[in-house]
A and B are shown apart, each in its own frame.
Chain A
Amino acid sequence: MARAKSRRRAGTWEHGGWHVPPPSRDELRCGLAPLLRQLRRVDDAVAKLAGGEGRVDDLVQLQRILTERFPVGEPTCTTVTLAQPEPLREQLRLLSRDLHLEIHAVDGQYPCYLLCRVAARWDAPDIILEELHVSSGRVSFFHDRRFAMLMRHGRSRTFLRLARWRRASKTLLGGVWRQRPDDRDCDDLLAAVARLVLASAWYEDQRLPFAVADAFGLTHFRSALELVAFILGSNLYQVAAGIREWQEELVGFFQQVYPNVPLAALLHNLSRHGAVNPAQLETAARGVFVELNRLFSAFLGTTGALADLEQLELFKVVLGCFANLGEVAARACWKPALEEAVGVLEGAAADATGRLVG
């Protein structure tokens, strides 16, 4: 008993509450190793079955893996199984409150898992900081590159998905700072990016235009959308004040990690000169927003855009094939009408951002 007590992390009384520091990287890796091993075994079994190579024996093997007991956290703690997700989640909560395990069923059949580290505070946007395990193959966690809908305490919540830029952020910090950044620094940078910029630059109604921009390579259009949403959705005075701590890192993030040149330029201006006449900027952004909406609507009305689907307007193809838009709208299937529409939209979006940022 005494031994178990000595292992427990010491807490401190801060800001009127008992604060237990999150476990270190090593502690986390050690505590999660059996779970990660088990998840990989499930993945292998599912990949074999889903790929058509499986037999009844493999299904039985999958069942065996799911019902095997393994420890999570301290070696002395209670063992759990993947077949009973609630006790497993309870153990993960004991290990760290930031851990989240999301379980889905591929086509209602095979289990797939997302184990991640999240930041979910009341005064900041919900973000995924690190993806510790994502099942291979077809998974339904990330319906969008920017958002993930996770079930937190039984309620669906939208998380900003920043984990994919973790490595690039670390490289960026290493370049800007003199000392070597650790994982906490990386978490802090991602949290700052989310709180100051992306919480307002991304919103869920952008999923359709972002999906179209990704599928048709509309980089200027995507940048313009983010820029407009950032100007209209954030308090520029607060951002200008908050950006001082992360001046170079934030600008560098939007130049190198997630390239959005106009947004990086605006952040640079905010950090150097503060928020100068934001009301005028907002008015201009509203005008650009209306213009972008009109252009996007005209783009989606293009007919004869894709091979084999010439008779359909583009919006029908986009909405009717939204689940596999990237595949349907592959570059090889583009028709001249689409090339022209892309050029018009991109040119207009570049002009609009130029008007906003100068």
Chain B
Amino acid sequence: MTPFGDPGSYQRFWRPVSIADAARVGGSWSRRNEALDQLDDLTFEHQMAAAASAAGHRVSAADLKTRPQRGPLHTDYPAFPAARACIGLSAICEFNAQAGSANLLLQAAVKLSPDQLAVLDPTGVRQAASHVAEAVGHRLCLDHLCVGDKFRAVESYRLFAASMLDLRFRRLKDVILAACTLGDLVDGLSRRPNVRRRIHPLTLRILSALAPSCAHYRQAAGRCRPEELPALAAALARGLMSALLPFLPLKTSDAPDPARLERPGTRALSRSWSRLSRVPLQSPSRNPDDPRALSAPLLGLNEPAPPVMDQPSSWTTKRRPDAAPGPSHFPRGIPSDAASGDDGADQRVLVPRAHSQEEARVQGLIQQAAAVITQATAAAAWEDPRVDQVTHSLRTNLFGQGPLEAQLGGHRHQITAYGSGRKGVIHEGALPRCRDAESLRQVRNGAAPIAQKLRAYQWFGRRTEMQAKRLQSRGALDPHRLARLGISSLVRRRWRRRRVTDYRGRPLVILAKDGSSSNTAATTLAGKTLAAAFLMIERLARIRLFAADYSSDHHGHLVQWLWHPQKTPGRNAWQAVEAVASLPPHGQGGNEDVLSLSHIVREVLLTPDAAKQTVIVINITDGKINSPLSEFRSMIRTLRQTHRLTYSLVVLGDAPIEVPEADHVVRVPRHELGDSHRIADRIAQHVNTLVRALRAGRKASHG
């Protein structure tokens, strides 16, 4: 297929665009963008309703605490149910983020009495209580949204979670979650002989113990009013915790000798594990004094294993029973987004602190092997999310925020900066539409005076024209014979290249807005109004505008397109003002200006519109450059020399930046930032200069 996914002549689209097309790689850009817009709208509605349901009153868009989730769309689940699961997950995440008081209620409900705590391992009890509170919180959320508010998308996510569930249940957390939220499916499946074979006997016993409380809750929840649900959920949490007590690990002094569980052979190990009656705190451990370190058995992928309290069993079943749990014992492996668990620790490399020389040697070997395997299966940061990685990540954190959140047209790119040659990775996306009427009104009102001034200017392009130059002869050569130059090879024609004004040309204007954290509220608002004004006059001024904001977030350097014909979904430049309004009120993060600007300019220069057109870069910044100034100047120099573009720097505020390489520097002092009319005057003056420069050359006739 073509790079943009156009199907060509062998296929035609006959189905209407739906949310299932939102991540379809085989679809065209326009279909995908339209689908993303639909999905975004539905997600927003559900998030708002979920937030209102949790908070008990209407909330505004600014009060939303989570971002739309997109993980299920990048798994091997069918596209339409996956898109609905995205909507459901977004609603669940928002509900859980808002429902602080309900979670506190559940945490209070799972507290045990001191006499119960006397014999049990306190760490195990704490972890089990946390798992129960979390699972019941999810159940409460499902009942609130699915039964109370009739959000069927939440049920879609529940089914998606059931499909993702690893039926071997390597963690106690998964067992509790499955019994509590997916009980109707798991109960039936666990009765099947082929499924039972995969589940460890201890897991089956725990599931059976939890089932009555869950069944009782399901029956009661179907009949009760929504306001009675928290009390029912608290009762469920208490019931689950009581049912779990016989399976929780005893205090270390009461625990059986771990060495009894150790046998050199795998089968022997499995036998001893099958007789377990309590959940172990960690994966099976090897006797550190065993001289046959390399012959230590490893648990297979398909073998039934008892659920452990802290981490899933993997190759590294070498944890000593007396080692205190905690992520500090687990050095991070090679960074991999998808492989990291919810606690931030890498799930693959689980290497505890060594306790003997022999143990340390084995752990070193395993760590080396793990690092090599991780390297052999890793994906580059700029590549699309890989199905197996996303699936694994979602599976380890069901009902939680996933690895992929809404980024319209989000991609990562490896960038080499102009001039300095600095390399880096840029995360690119498109800003969603703003749904907050107040922010939108503020930006539109602020931009109106500037747009009023700018709309009067007609921008013209410049193009290169080849002109035949008359030969001036002297001496022996008779000027009258020059008429024969068309047929004589002895007299050469002279050509001259000239840049002339092109009245039909539409210059490309690249608006790059700095959104880093050095921007105050005043400079951010001024930048937003300026960007909005340019977007509003795009059609009238006969320019081709590309607008982007560059900042950074937890992914790293971030370029967000406000308006790009191929990257922003289903909107024109006028509608892109809504995207400007969705920018945060303050700057965020630091960024490498050089990398971000290089990426923005390169993306625009690659478009067919840029061919043979005048390119003007307007960089709106607060004058605080995060890259070294020498690199910044080098970039501008290279851009001007190589691509012959015009570079204007608009400095909002009083930062004393000096960039002699820029063609124009417009300074808006700090005391004028709040006055749109003063900004309009300065920008209009600058645009006047630009337009006059464009028309300064020899004028060409039309065409």
Q: Is the CB of B185 within 8 A of A322?
A: no
Expressed in whole angstroms, the Cα–Cα distance for A54 and B156 within the complex equals: 39
Interface size, chain B (Cβ < 8 Å): 79
A252 an interface residue at 8 Å Cβ cutoff? no
Q: Is the CB of A327 within 8 A of B12?
A: no
B221 an interface residue at 8 Å Cβ cutoff? no
Among the 9-residue stretches A13-21, A175-183, A199-207, A344-352, the one with 4 or more Cβ atoms under 8 Å from chain B is A199-207
Chain B hits for A104, CB < 8 A: 377, 386-388
With A51-B300, A109-B314, A125-B10 as known contacts, state yes or no: A83 contacts B376, CB within 8 Å.
yes
Expressed in whole angstroms, the Cα–Cα distance for A322 and B78 within the complex equals: 9
Chain A hits for B188, CB < 8 A: 308-309, 311-312
With A140-B391, A316-B185 as known contacts, state yes or no: A62 contacts B373, CB within 8 Å.
yes
Expressed in whole angstroms, the Cα–Cα distance for A120 and B3 within the complex equals: 11
Interface set, chain B 533-549, CB cutoff 8 A to A: none
Among the 9-residue stretches B159-167, B448-456, B465-473, B522-530, the one with 4 or more Cβ atoms under 8 Å from chain A is B159-167
Q: Is the CB of A157 within 8 A of B25?
A: yes
Interface set, chain B 387-440, CB cutoff 8 A to A: 387-389, 391-392
Chain A hits for B388, CB < 8 A: 104-106, 108, 140
Q: Is the CB of B298 within 8 A of A54?
A: yes
Least Cβ distance of A87 to chain B in Å? 12
Q: Is the CB of B9 within 8 A of A235?
A: yes
With A52-B299, A84-B375, A316-B185 as known contacts, state yes or no: A208 contacts B78, CB within 8 Å.
yes
Among the 9-residue stretches A29-37, A148-156, A264-272, A334-342, the one with 4 or more Cβ atoms under 8 Å from chain B is A148-156
Option from A122, A199, A321 in Cβ contact (under 8 Å) with B189: A321
Chain B hits for A322, CB < 8 A: 77-78, 163
Least Cβ distance of A201 to chain B in Å? 10
Expressed in whole angstroms, the Cα–Cα distance for A140 and B164 within the complex equals: 13
Expressed in whole angstroms, the Cα–Cα distance for A297 and B373 within the complex equals: 45
Q: Is the CB of B163 within 8 A of A151?
A: no
Chain B hits for A55, CB < 8 A: 294-298
Option from B8, B185, B270, B384 in Cβ contact (under 8 Å) with A320: B185
Q: Is the CB of A82 within 8 A of B76?
A: no
Q: Is the CB of A49 within 8 A of B298?
A: yes
B26 an interface residue at 8 Å Cβ cutoff? yes
Q: Is the CB of A208 within 8 A of B81?
A: yes
Chain A hits for B25, CB < 8 A: 149, 155-158
Chain B hits for A143, CB < 8 A: 76, 387
Expressed in whole angstroms, the Cα–Cα distance for A57 and B158 within the complex equals: 41
With A49-B315, A208-B81, A233-B12 as known contacts, state yes or no: A155 contacts B2, CB within 8 Å.
no
B20 an interface residue at 8 Å Cβ cutoff? yes
With A108-B389, A109-B314, A205-B79 as known contacts, state yes or no: A63 contacts B9, CB within 8 Å.
no
Among the 9-residue stretches B253-261, B364-372, B488-496, B636-644, the one with 4 or more Cβ atoms under 8 Å from chain A is B364-372
With A52-B300, A105-B392 as known contacts, state yes or no: A321 contacts B1, CB within 8 Å.
no
Expressed in whole angstroms, the Cα–Cα distance for A233 and B12 within the complex equals: 5
Least Cβ distance of A35 to chain B in Å? 14
Interface set, chain A 129-161, CB cutoff 8 A to B: 138, 140, 143-144, 149, 151, 154-158
With A207-B78, A319-B156 as known contacts, state yes or no: A56 contacts B362, CB within 8 Å.
yes
Q: Is the CB of A109 within 8 A of B26?
A: no
B357 an interface residue at 8 Å Cβ cutoff? no
Main secondary structure of the interface of A (DSSP, over half): mixed
Q: Is the CB of B266 within 8 A of A308?
A: no
B383 an interface residue at 8 Å Cβ cutoff? yes
Q: Is the CB of A66 within 8 A of B78?
A: no
Expressed in whole angstroms, the Cα–Cα distance for A324 and B81 within the complex equals: 16
Option from A51, A151, A203 in Cβ contact (under 8 Å) with B386: A151
Q: Is the CB of B368 within 8 A of A56?
A: no
Expressed in whole angstroms, the Cα–Cα distance for A232 and B12 within the complex equals: 8
A94 an interface residue at 8 Å Cβ cutoff? no
B380 an interface residue at 8 Å Cβ cutoff? yes
B330 an interface residue at 8 Å Cβ cutoff? no
Expressed in whole angstroms, the Cα–Cα distance for A157 and B192 within the complex equals: 37
Chain B hits for A308, CB < 8 A: 188-189, 191-192
Interface set, chain A 305-331, CB cutoff 8 A to B: 308-309, 311-312, 316-317, 319-323, 327-328
Q: Is the CB of A157 within 8 A of B78?
A: no
Q: Is the CB of A110 within 8 A of B294?
A: no
With A108-B347, A327-B194 as known contacts, state yes or no: A234 contacts B12, CB within 8 Å.
yes
Chain A hits for B243, CB < 8 A: none
Expressed in whole angstroms, the Cα–Cα distance for A317 and B11 within the complex equals: 33
Least Cβ distance of A5 to chain B in Å? 32
Q: Is the CB of A103 within 8 A of B377?
A: yes
Chain A hits for B294, CB < 8 A: 55-57, 60
Least Cβ distance of A126 to chain B in Å? 6
In the complex, the chain A residue whose C-beta lies closest to that of B85 is A319
Q: Is the CB of A49 within 8 A of B300?
A: yes
Chain B hits for A199, CB < 8 A: 7, 10-11
Q: Is the CB of B1 within 8 A of A157?
A: yes
Chain B hits for A110, CB < 8 A: 301, 373
Q: Is the CB of A56 within 8 A of B184?
A: no
Q: Is the CB of B377 within 8 A of A111?
A: yes
A283 an interface residue at 8 Å Cβ cutoff? no
Q: Is the CB of A59 within 8 A of B365?
A: yes
With A125-B11, A158-B25, A308-B188 as known contacts, state yes or no: A50 contacts B384, CB within 8 Å.
no
Least Cβ distance of B111 to chain A in Å? 33
Option from B7, B189, B386 in Cβ contact (under 8 Å) with A328: B189
B447 an interface residue at 8 Å Cβ cutoff? no
Chain B hits for A97, CB < 8 A: none
With A59-B369, A319-B81 as known contacts, state yes or no: A52 contacts B266, CB within 8 Å.
yes
Chain B hits for A122, CB < 8 A: 1-3, 8
Chain A hits for B379, CB < 8 A: 151
Q: Is the CB of B295 within 8 A of A56?
A: yes
Expressed in whole angstroms, the Cα–Cα distance for A109 and B392 within the complex equals: 10
In the complex, the chain B residue whose C-beta lies closest to that of A327 is B194
Chain B hits for A311, CB < 8 A: 184, 188
A279 an interface residue at 8 Å Cβ cutoff? no
Expressed in whole angstroms, the Cα–Cα distance for A285 and B500 within the complex equals: 58
Chain B hits for A83, CB < 8 A: 372, 375-376
18 A–B contacts from the bound complex (CB under 8 Å): A49-B300, A50-B302, A51-B300, A52-B303, A54-B300, A55-B294, A55-B295, A55-B297, A56-B315, A82-B376, A83-B376, A86-B380, A124-B10, A154-B380, A199-B10, A235-B12, A309-B189, A320-B158
Given contacts A60-B369, A140-B388, 10 further A-B contacts (CB under 8 A): A55-B296, A59-B365, A143-B76, A154-B380, A200-B12, A203-B15, A234-B12, A319-B162, A320-B159, A321-B163
By Cβ-Cβ distance, the 3 closest A-B pairs, closest first, are A52-B300, A143-B76, A320-B162
The residues of A with any CB-CB pair to B shorter than 8 Å are 49-60, 62-63, 66-67, 82-86, 103-111, 120, 122-126, 138, 140, 143-144, 149, 151, 154-158, 195-196, 199-200, 203-205, 207-208, 211, 232-235, 238, 308-309, 311-312, 316-317, 319-323, 327-328, 333
